[in-house]
Structure 1
Amino acid sequence: MATFPTFESVILHIAKAFGVNSNMSSKSKSKFRNADMSMANLNETWATLLAGIADVLKLDEHAKSDLISNIFVDHNMHKSIELGVFTSKASERKVVWQYLARIAVPLLARHSVFWHMDSKFDGGMPGGSFWYLPSFDSPCEPTQLHLPIPQVLNWLIDLIQDSNANIAKGLERDLRIYEGTNVVLRNLYNWRKAKSTPEISSINNTFPDEVNIQFQGCFEPTDEFSKFEQALTFVKKKGLPPSVLQHEIAINEDDLKRIFIGDCSLDEQYDFVVKVMLRYQAPCARTIRLRLLTARAVQEGYEQLVKFLTPSVDKLCIDLDKNKTLQLIQLYMDLYNRTLEAHLEKRHLGETAENKYFTERLPPFLRYDLLRLVSYDHDQHASVVSDRLNSIFSRSGEENDLNKILPSSEDDMKQIMQVIIDEGEHSNNYLIQLEALIDKLVQNKAPFKQLKNIADFELVSGTINYTYPNPNVRTMILDRLKELESTPLQSLKRITFELEEKLLVKKFDSKTENEVCYLLNEAKNNEEYEFSKSRILQLEAFHFIAQNKLPEAEKNLNLAIEECKKYSFGNLRGNLARDAFSLAIANQKLIPNNHEKYFRDMFNWGGFKGSHKDPSKINIYDASRSLHEYFWEDLYKCYPSYPPLFSSSRAEFAVFARDITLCVKNQQSIPLVLKKHKSLKNKQLRYPQADSAIILLMKMGYGMLAKLSDYDGVIPADIEAEIKGALTVVLNTVVEVVQEWPEIVNISDFKQQTPLMLAAHQKDYEMVEVLLKAKADPNLKDFTGRTALHSAAASRCLESAQLLLEYGCDEKITMQEGTTALHTATRMGELPIVKLLVKKSPDLLLVKDSNGITPQELAKSISEDIGLYEYLKGYLLSENRTIVSRKRYLELNNYFQEKQLSSY
């Protein structure tokens, strides 16, 4: 049982390695890992973890911003791949191995180059070495593996140039808490021998800022004589010949040999001195801690990976065939060096040139297979990687096989290349044959005979998702698949195709229900059912919908979503959430707290379609409206023997609207119609927006008005007059309904928006007055805490604001952000309403919003900051609001200053 790793799970591992998520409960970690918590909590947890990691690494704001930006770029790439991956029966080890080799390590290696250069991450460490990674003692004939913590301690002890015992005594004396216990000495011994990975608290306690370490092995030249001569004396005294020193500073051995005998230019001497000073500088306690914490994080991750991927292998094993994790490290180092080379060679030509240089120098087995994600031969990186992973995961019998990703011999290279060639040829042959077969079926050239001539189940199954002029071709394909199936998996695949055909493609007939029942039973008895359970449950939900069993259908979809937490099924989880959400609100109002889980899964798992391709631009309220339509227009259809269901809100309002329309047309008495529909006077309609009858009428009327303004000057005069006439009738009808049903004026919609707020938002002060006279409560708030007075300020309607205050609206009510109506009027640059509110309540001048900003400070910021003004301008235009010049905000600021001065 295995799912593709979520990006959240990766962040959790990183955070754990740095000790950031120690306060999270196991339940919270599980929910975050599976993106199963509320969207607000998910975003908050993301922010907390990333901020924590940045703090541990002591990143400044620029570096922190860059890190977070790169993480979210990788997150989007990861998600694009994840939504195309089907893990099938692959083991968890196999899935994680392929994920690390093809996605995580390549992305990390590529980014690391630029992080290290920007942050000078390696300053003072041996040049050209990966001190934060496990490394061999010799690149040629290694005999020992050095873990990161020992490498950092060796660097530190070399700079201190003293025995472990003396170093430990000095630290214990400075720290006092350890004095006489030998704790530091034991820790240094255990850490250097890799007997244990230090706790974060031990590192912080051993090397706090106040510790005073004496460095005797550092290079600190004086002004007494030549710094070049001092540097030469220093490296020779440390026993560093050119063959060794070349690995410590970025100068090659031949050049060092010349430098050692003085055969070099002044520039070379200067460069030598600078590099020796940098390498052998005395680090501060903060740098020591950061190096150890980084090394510790990598070392812990390495040890966990060894235990997970190869549980019987020792963590210090240097055999790459046995210790698979070392292959990932080798891949990282190779990619890092290739990326660095490309950057140094082509940086003057830009990123595109760097990427081209990098790609062209990759060996074929990397360029066309393992590193397709970071090679730049194509644009569809995500889909190419997903397809390759699906091909690997679909193979049975390889659950415990962690294939070699890097060749260590010529035979390895030949084997890897042969696999790539064989798979490429098979794929090309399959596509060629498939295209030829589909072409013949589309042309209806003896389709039955064409299918009979094919004995390959997979080839025939590849034709099922195409549209054919002859509707009988799909039936022929399904029949042929049944003849060819030879395994339970092939049988289940054919059954799924048949269920889709009967439930989603063909019209229902008298036999469909029984045929679907038979196929569902056949699927559930198939031994491969467990691995396709979520899709079968979804199809069974469609079957329940066709039987008018809507609660059972929603239950099935929820079970299917849970199954998607066991195996990866591409974007199926998002589609299941979409269908479940549409069912949940088919005949009831949206309840955000109850229905957010569906919206969240749609957002995270690819459940948005068509105009909703960018889920960041839609909220749960907008989604609920479109999904209500989706259910009744697309998803719902019933078997012939069942009475069709209809949207109850549509049904009850449709009759009401028809009766009202006839009443107005025939100039009959509206009270008679209202008496007939009295059940609507104190209820919300049963659909997502949960409008009352008058809110729906008002939205229809104001909607006509909006369309008129959109087509100003384009609509013929007679049609425009007709629309305006209809608008007048609708709004006059609202007035009569309000007068007959005064109790309806305070019934809100799903956003807790009242008719009064809606009228104020539309600058319809006449309707505002009608509603207030009918006892509309001006102090009711919507889900953001906004009142009708906020709406009047936002729409710049002075008349509405005056009426609301006259009828007792509390001008001191604040929204969730702590903003009063005065803040809103200020943001809109509406001076008349500002003056009205200040005159009514001068104390509003002192009210600060949740960011600690008063109305005057807001006006001052907008008037002085062109960037802020342009941002506000763009936002208001996107909301179809009118805008004012920056000069108006300056006038507002001056007005506020005058008022403050007059109060002294």
Structure 2
Amino acid sequence: MTVADTQPIAQLPTSHSALLYAVSLFCAPEWQHAERRRYARSEMRLKVGTERTLQLLDLLRQSLSQAQASALWVDTVEQVLRLGNSLDALELHTRTYSATPQQALWVLLAFDVMPALGRTWGFRCQDEVLLPQMPEGDLWFLPHQDPANPDRLILPVETMLSWWLEQIDGPLDRLWGEYDDERRRTLDNWKSGRTTPAIAKIVEWFGYDHQFSYKSSDEAHLSTSQLRSLLLWARAIEQAYKDLVGCLTPGVAPTDADPMRNKALQLIELFRWSHEATVATAPTNPALADQAFVEALPSWIKEGPFRVITPDRSGRLLAAEQVAEFLSGIFSALPSNAKLPDIFGDPRLRSPALMTFNADRVRQRQTAQEGIENILVAWRGSDLGRQHPVAAGLANLQQLPGIAEFEPDIAYLSALHALSSGNFDQARQHAEKALELCLTRSIGPLKLDVAKLNFSLAVAQDAFNRASAERSFRILCKSVPPQDAARWRLGESPIDYSMRLAAADHAAWFWGNIVRPYEGVEIEAPLQENSEIIRAYAGLLFSGASEVEVRAFKKKFGGQLKRKLQDVRGDTFFTVTSKMVPDVVRVMRQMPTYSGIPEEPSELANSMAATHLKLVRLLPTDVLDARDYLKQTALMLAAERKDANMVKALVDRHVDIDAQDALGRTALHSAARVGADRCFEILLAAGANPTLQTFAGRTPAILAAEFGRATIFEMRLACTAYEVGRSELEEAYKLARDTAEDFKAKRKVYAIQGYEIAGRKGFQKIASLALAVLDE
């Protein structure tokens, strides 16, 4: 695998492309080429992409022979994820303009990654040298000049092998016992840098069970496992270096020691300089160390390549968005040719290169960006004739020189213009074009705007469809405000569930903020509760309809009963009325009674509930089993509202009593959480399965223990059709016992989350019941 396999054209690397490449340096995943490209481009479904990320991390862990819970591995994962998040943020907020892939990689490495990695490695090496016995100390893995031949570079594998072989006792062709000239020749090739070691060869030749003979038995030597790990690291770094040389300067030999030809050496010098400046500072006082670090650097490096790692007077570094703005400025000033601008101006790599930029191209870009901003201001304005400056601005924009760089901006503005003109189909076409362009280049914060518009268009007028919405949502997930992440339960729930919650928010945002019709344009929001079928049903509810009238209603609207309404929540007539009727009934039962009104509110509420039950008894089972966008059924909703009559009616109609929603919850879970004892009893008697688990592994019994529903927990223990597992009992016991012991604090926590739990005695009883069964 090469850099080109994982870096999309004209786009900065992302966490996915970087992780895939890094892992391939240690152990190539057994994926097909198309699968690697889809992962690197973040084109997989969110759930699958997450699974692949975990798989790659585990492959890396195994190749490095690290235990899952080891402190070193936990720290490694933390650093990998932090770097991945940083790369995603930069890709999302940086504009690369017309930079080539080589220029994009060069700027990112020179002005962010290499200085940052050097400083991070410097912090790790401040206290002590990690490998004091190695030549070149803590920087042994960097390519460096051959003392015997300054025109030649010594690469990491040669450094490692030369140092190790000096300590080995015996000829090279007998290191593994019997004479083996092939291994000797292979080792020579590795040492010379002519070939990069194959991972399989290192694993085979340096197995944990093999012991090498050393010249001195008094000195401490590396174990074979340590040796293998270092060789794998040396091999990975050498391969990455060779790939980098091949990508940045095709045709230049990796062993070329001239940094003006072999520009990768300039990046290595940035790493070395950052590392050495960090190690030289005192680690005991961070504030003084930062000050010493800043004072030790010349101004040109602090304002250039080291800008990202140079703290200000308050000790703060640039935020990700500020780093992206800094990089965007560099990309904007790049020459229009494909040449990589030098960082250093001399082969000694200390003085700065003279930076040149295309002033005409910079002015063209500024003119285009001003035109784009003017169009947005006009579109957002309140002038009655605002469509005219928007249309004129778009026409003028497309005539500007070099406007091809801003093709995504034009497509996005055209989508907004089409929406305000009432042309939704045309808006979708422009928005999808903008999204396609976003996926092939880094266009800065506009990418989030384009993704948000596409996601909203996908969910605003139709029932939720994951396939049409997920591509945009993948981009949105890279930059979610904390309050939105909490509301969508990102990271807490399955990604599909979070996307459904986000869809409802974006549909509301779309109609409230994006649909801004021009003067004279009328745009109707999708029909929801005002549709004909719901208006007719409302008339039945308020009139106390007879069964004959309900049958007539069913006959008239039979073809619409299974059809989803034009709303993101994916409701059918029955799912929306299953939410609407109980809410109306509850409100009416709470209304006060006034003299002179024809019917008591509570009586009308009872009549409405009875009418809805009549309909339930007449509707086909497939209509009653309809699900909304969260995959909730009427049975789950009825159990959650403690509506035993509705639960009984639905069970009698043979609905799917074990249906699970997007979180894996069943009607039994709903009843257990709210303490709907009678509903739980009806469901159990009908054969509902109490062993089904949510995505988090919670059964109804565990939920009952969590919320203190003692009667429900007792019913579950008495259900002989499904045995309660020991692990389930142990978890229930622990939950109930802990809450009983710290009841007030637990009750407060649940109250903040909007949940009401039972009293302390309920938890004590559950703990007692569970313990009794466990002791049997």
Q: TM-score range by the shorter chain?
A: 0.7 to 0.9
Pairing 1:30–2:37 present: yes
Distance 2:217 2:715 in 1: 73
Q: Which residue of 2 aligns with 1:855?
A: 728
1:3-26 residue CA offsets vs partner (Å, 9 max, x unmatched): 12223222222112112x331222
Pairing 1:146–2:22 present: no
**1:288/1:36 CA distance change after superposition, 3 Å:** same
Q: Which residue of 2 aligns with 1:429?
A: none
Pairing 1:583–2:451 present: no
Q: CA deviation at 1:650?
A: 5.0
Q: CA deviation at 1:89?
A: 1.2
Pairing 1:159–2:174 present: no
User: Is the contact made by 1:372 and 1:384 (CA closer than 8 Å) also made in structure 2?
Assistant: no
Between structure 1 and structure 2, the one with the greater Rg is 1
Of 783, 786, 794, which aligns to 2:673?
794
| Unaligned ranges ≥5, structure 2 | 1-8, 491-497, 595-599
**1:837/1:782 CA distance change after superposition, 3 Å:** same
Pairing 1:602–2:491 present: no
Distance 2:113 2:222 in 1: 32
Deviates more, 1:693-702 or 1:592-601: 693-702
The letter of the residue matching 1:171 is W
Q: Which residue of 1 aligns with 2:338?
A: 400
After TM superposition, the structure 1 = structure 2 runs for residues 883-898 of structure 1, keeping only pairs within 5 Å, are 883=757, 892-898=766-772
Q: What SS does structure 1 have at the residue aligned with 2:176?
A: helix
**TM-score scaled by structure 1?**
0.73
**1:197/1:855 CA distance change after superposition, 3 Å:** same
Deviates more, 1:742-751 or 1:284-293: 742-751
Q: CA deviation at 1:819?
A: 4.8
**1:819/1:294 CA distance change after superposition, 3 Å:** same
Q: CA deviation at 1:359?
A: 3.5
The letter of the residue matching 1:374 is I
Of 531, 538, 544, which aligns to 1:660?
538
Pairing 1:171–2:176 present: yes
Q: Which residue of 2 aligns with 1:18?
A: 26
Distance 1:340 1:843 in 2: 64
Q: Which residue of 2 aligns with 1:475?
A: none
Of 322, 344, 347, which aligns to 2:261?
322
Q: Which residue of 2 aligns with 1:6?
A: 14
Q: Which residue of 2 aligns with 1:75?
A: 84
Q: CA deviation at 1:153?
A: 0.6
Of 559, 566, 571, which aligns to 1:691?
571
User: Is the contact made by 1:745 and 1:775 (CA closer than 8 Å) also made in structure 2?
Assistant: no
User: Is the contact made by 2:344 and 2:352 (CA closer than 8 Å) also made in structure 1?
Assistant: no
1:690-723 residue CA offsets vs partner (Å, 9 max, x unmatched): 2244543554577799999xxxxxx99999xxxx
Q: What SS does structure 2 have at the residue aligned with 1:649?
A: coil
Q: Which residue of 1 aligns with 2:493?
A: none
Q: Which residue of 2 aligns with 1:446?
A: none
Q: CA deviation at 1:886?
A: 9.0
Q: What SS does structure 2 have at the residue aligned with 1:195?
A: coil
Distance 2:304 2:660 in 1: 58
Of 331, 350, 361, which aligns to 2:296?
361
Q: CA deviation at 1:2?
A: 1.3
Pairing 1:308–2:247 present: yes
**1:862/1:650 CA distance change after superposition, 3 Å:** closer
Pairing 1:733–2:597 present: no
Size of the aligned set, in residue pairs, is 743
User: Is the contact made by 1:373 and 1:382 (CA closer than 8 Å) also made in structure 2?
Assistant: no
Q: Which residue of 2 aligns with 1:612?
A: 484
User: Is the contact made by 1:698 and 1:730 (CA closer than 8 Å) also made in structure 2?
Assistant: no
Q: CA deviation at 1:74?
A: 2.6
1:451-499 residue CA offsets vs partner (Å, 9 max, x unmatched): xxxxx999xxxxxxxxxxxxxxxxxxxxxxxxxxx95x56644653454
Distance 2:272 2:604 in 1: 74
Q: CA deviation at 1:187?
A: 0.8
Pairing 1:371–2:306 present: yes
| Unaligned ranges ≥5, structure 1 | 174-178, 221-276, 427-455, 459-485, 709-714, 720-724, 847-852
The letter of the residue matching 2:415 is A
1:234-289 residue CA offsets vs partner (Å, 9 max, x unmatched): xxxxxxxxxxxxxxxxxxxxxxxxxxxxxxxxxxxxxxxxxxx5xxx222211111
Q: What SS does structure 1 have at the residue aligned with 2:512?
A: helix
Q: Which residue of 1 aligns with 2:5?
A: none
**1:401/1:603 CA distance change after superposition, 3 Å:** same
The letter of the residue matching 1:292 is L
Q: What SS does structure 2 have at the residue aligned with 1:690?
A: coil
Distance 1:457 1:594 in 2: 38
Q: What SS does structure 2 have at the residue aligned with 1:789?
A: helix
Which structure's residues are more often helix, by fraction?
1
After TM superposition, the structure 1 = structure 2 runs for residues 661-680 of structure 1, keeping only pairs within 5 Å, are 664=542
Pairing 1:646–2:525 present: yes
Q: Which residue of 2 aligns with 1:285?
A: 224
Q: Which residue of 2 aligns with 1:747?
A: 626
Q: Which residue of 2 aligns with 1:236?
A: none
**1:71/1:170 CA distance change after superposition, 3 Å:** closer
Q: Which residue of 2 aligns with 1:206?
A: 205
Distance 1:383 1:818 in 2: 38
**TM-score scaled by structure 2?**
0.84
1:749-771 residue CA offsets vs partner (Å, 9 max, x unmatched): 11221122112123344553455
Q: Which residue of 2 aligns with 1:759?
A: 638
The letter of the residue matching 2:632 is Q
The letter of the residue matching 1:826 is A
User: Is the contact made by 1:745 and 1:755 (CA closer than 8 Å) also made in structure 2?
Assistant: yes
Q: What SS does structure 1 have at the residue aligned with 2:528?
A: helix
Distance 2:487 2:197 in 1: 43
Q: What SS does structure 1 have at the residue aligned with 2:137?
A: coil
Of 325, 348, 352, which aligns to 1:387?
325
Distance 2:482 2:168 in 1: 64
1:213-235 residue CA offsets vs partner (Å, 9 max, x unmatched): 1101x361xxxxxxxxxxxxxxx
Of 381, 391, 414, which aligns to 1:505?
381
Q: Which residue of 1 aligns with 2:700?
A: 821
The letter of the residue matching 1:56 is S
Pairing 1:346–2:291 present: no
Q: CA deviation at 1:132?
A: 1.4
User: Is the contact made by 1:101 and 1:370 (CA closer than 8 Å) also made in structure 2?
Assistant: yes
Q: CA deviation at 1:299?
A: 0.6
Distance 1:413 1:119 in 2: 30
Q: CA deviation at 1:330?
A: 1.6
User: Is the contact made by 1:133 and 1:147 (CA closer than 8 Å) also made in structure 2?
Assistant: yes
Distance 1:883 1:320 in 2: 69
